[in-house]
A and B are shown apart, each in its own frame.
Chain A
């Protein structure tokens, strides 16, 4: 069944970079993509949705890729802030305290494509 898919907003000048297959990311887990500017965390939820965030917690730069993924959130491994995977923003008690940059992601034929530049933080 094809489910109505919302195309991520295209960004000016961004290109889609193929980083691997969806199947390589464990459900309720994450993998890292290393770049010269630091890691990107690529998450896959229990429902199979994929998100990409800069791998740095807005609190004290904890590597979010190492956290526990639940629902559409990840809990940071260092001090347990919970970050929304879609927006990069902390939720619950820590809402409003900063934001992690997020990258548009699209899936094509089982492959994960990440936009070459992040959405502006807080988008």
Chain B
């Protein structure tokens, strides 16, 4: 006897289920489908290309009217079901139509979440779910103007892209600091932001919406918590979905986030099932189609008599449908216990790939710019195949990996044809490289210079090395190029600095992509260096990344062995006053600071301050007019002076005054390593200026400027840089040499080491050529406009307050 199967929802899941049931047992059920939308079933995921004008609605219809007729399926389109009566086994739809069922399937999807912002009900505030939404958006786009999309997930980005394609100025407002943060890491998220910008979609990250601004009942803008208002005539909310569970709840079915189902897709009522986004299976409510196909297959089997069929959950992958932007993500891209990353970047093609391996298996993948191998990786992931054998080549994709399988690396290289491409960036084939080696090259550098192979991204360097080994046998000597910054890159500091400036790289992800870093987010060695290079290259523009600073620079105090901190206020040129000394004494008393010590740098150190007390300690020091002494920084430290002509019977110039003037002009400047100055009033040199990074010896005729001294790990006397006859000229020369050092030295390199590397003559030439000196001085003075702010005062005012306060205090957690 034919049974009655009623399906609520004429969408992706509902119709797929009907198809699957009919394919298995065509005569078994009389099928009735209710759809809230007044139309046949269409491919919802293709609404994005429809919005973008790349497809028409006709192109995305899955089941046209003829399909329903041919298969004897009754469709009630435009009639939402309003109630289920499980006892009577009936459903009632809008308009009062009541239908009986033997089996009922809930496939009514989910609803887009509307943020409860003030003004959210204004005309022009829409969501992105069905064809009506697309039509509302295209109508708004036809009028032109600006659109704001709240939500930087898949849906929001596709909406913004579509609207930009239709000529609107589109802006995505995203609460998180990375687009699609649940699918992408920050490196891929950065590339996506850039790619969208090229397509006319602007992105605002870490931006929280506060209210919708309206005019005459229509949307006029979106106000953000930071005070900005983004004008717009269309506001799209794409912040997530909520499973449609209200009908089920009203009918007394068990409901969590969605309608709770077992592995047979059965709800708490044995005659009622649920599939698609409305269902919650093993605690998960899915929001993509792949799991829906699996669910429908299982349920169709169950409904046609196969009680053994079971759905066991799905591993997910995501692709973004924005033309020309290849993004793929699957599995646990963030890694976890015992995971390791394999990262590949190709700056030339804008490619970033990251594979996450766990115990020899692929656990996750994120790809940007080249996602052709996405499905292959996804299959490897789902099958749980052991990939340790292919680890070396895995990241290059299926073709290369399978081409070389089973061969050890050197025989694999030997087996390659002469026409096989080795260096993708420069298009160099194997034959060209072996020929060049045959002509007498013995090193990677040589091959690089002659053939260009391995000269760009460097990812083929191991292959080129193999070729050298194969061709030369014992004649091969391993490479000794400039030392790389760290294990995340093959590049040395010099190249990195140069390219940051030349290619105008203005953020850490930009540098890591352009220079093809081999880790997703660098390490404790390269990050502080890159942060400094960016601070130096783009003053006032680059946003300092405090998470890339060593703790001392992050909290503006020196960490001590017991985890407390020391605080050293500036004493300009070593001069202090009774008021300052009194304030220091009061602070020490008030905060029970155990040690107060006079430092070797002519100032006072308060040692043993608790981290939580730092802002309060600084507040008191600030109140007495004192600022941070940067005793913690790769920055200008102290300017040591002697009493000079003010008091000393031998003093030739005002060394104290010059020291104070230098410190007041130069403080706050970050540098590759710490920089200490000394100014002595005569050659007796009581300020020990000749063992400082930069020193001044005052003489009758003027000022002798010295560089390159040190008295720590190495003892080094200074060299004379230049002689000048006025205090002003001394300031110019000192700032010029300091700026040259700031722009040229490698991170961690003190002035004396930098001088050893580039030579005193080079430094002299820069400082003694008037144009170069002036240009250096001007760049320094410009940068200082952003640097001379007291970091303590900023923190007293509340900046990064979270850094100093614990996240929580808990009596309940017990360390083992």
Q: Tell whether A93 is near chain B: CB-to-CB under 8 Å.
A: no
Residue contact B524 to A35, C-beta cutoff 8 Å: no
Chain A residues with CB below 8 A from B336, complex form: 6, 49, 86
- Where the two chains meet, the residues of A that have a C-beta atom closer than 8 Å to any C-beta of B are 1-4, 6, 15, 17, 19-20, 24-29, 31-40, 42, 45-49, 54, 60-63, 66-73, 75, 77-78, 80, 82, 86-87, 101, 103, 112, 114, 116-121
Contacting residue for A33 out of B331, B524, B810, CB 8 A: B810
Assess the B316–A1 pair: CB atoms within 8 A. Answer: yes
Question: Besides A31-B802, A70-B524, A117-B813, 13 other CB < 8 A contacts?
Answer: A3-B316, A4-B331, A19-B810, A26-B547, A31-B807, A33-B813, A35-B810, A46-B520, A46-B521, A48-B178, A77-B552, A78-B559, A87-B337
Selected contact of A117 from candidates B338, B808, B816, CB within 8 Å: B816
Q: Is residue B216 contacting chain A, with contact meaning CB distance below 8 A?
A: no
Interface pair B284/A19, CB less than 8 Å apart: no
Query: Which of B185, B337, B555 lies at the interface centre, i.e. has the most chain A CB atoms within 10 A of its CB?
Result: B337
Interface size class of B (residues with CB under 8 A): 35 or more
Shortest CB distance A51–B (Å): 9
Do A35 and B807 touch (CB < 8 A)?
Answer: no
Interface set of B (CB-CB < 8 Å, partner A): 154, 177-178, 181-183, 185-186, 284-288, 313, 315-316, 318, 329, 331-339, 341, 519-524, 527-528, 546-552, 554-555, 559, 561, 563, 802, 806-816
A27 to B802, CA, bound (A): 13
User: By the criterion CB–CB under 8 Å, are A60 and B524 in contact?
Assistant: no
Q: Kindly list the 9 A-B residue pairs having the minimum CB-CB distance in the complex, ordered from nearest.
A: A47-B334, A31-B807, A75-B524, A118-B816, A86-B337, A46-B521, A28-B547, A19-B808, A68-B524
A117 → B minimal CB distance (Å): 5
- Contact between A32 and B521, CB atoms less than 8 A apart: no
B813 touching A48, Cβ below 8 Å: no
CB distance from B39 to the nearest CB of A (A): 28
Indicate if the CB atoms of A39 and B287 lie closer than 8 Å: no
The secondary structure that dominates the A interface is loop
B816 x A120 contact (CB < 8 A): yes
| B814 contacts across to A, CB distance below 8 A | 35, 37, 116-118
Contact across chains for B808 and A70 when beta carbons are under 8 A apart = no
Interface centre among A26, A72, A78 (most CB of B within 10 A): A72
**Which partner residue on chain A sits nearest B314 by CB separation?**
A4
**Nearest A-chain residue to B356, judged by Cβ:** A47
Residue with the highest number of chain A CB atoms closer than 10 Å, among B335, B547, B561:
B547
Residues of B within 8 A of A27 (CB): 177, 186, 547
Instruction: Flag if B548 contacts A68 (CB, 8 Å).
Output: yes
Chain B: minimal CB distance from A55 (Å): 8
The answer for the CA separation of A60 and B551 in the assembled complex, in Å, is 17
**Residues of chain B within 8 A of A24, CB atoms compared:** 802, 807
Would you list 16 pairs from A and B whose C-beta atoms are within 8 A, ordered by A residue? A1-B182, A1-B288, A2-B284, A2-B287, A29-B547, A31-B807, A35-B813, A37-B815, A45-B334, A54-B815, A66-B559, A68-B527, A68-B547, A75-B523, A78-B559, A116-B814
* Min CB–CB distance A56 → chain B (angstroms): 8
Could you say which of A24, A46, A80 has the most chain B C-beta atoms within 10 Å of its C-beta? Answer: A46
A28-B521, A77-B551 known; A116 vs B563 contact (CB < 8 Å): no
**Cα–Cα distance between A25 and B284 once the two chains are bound (Å):** 26
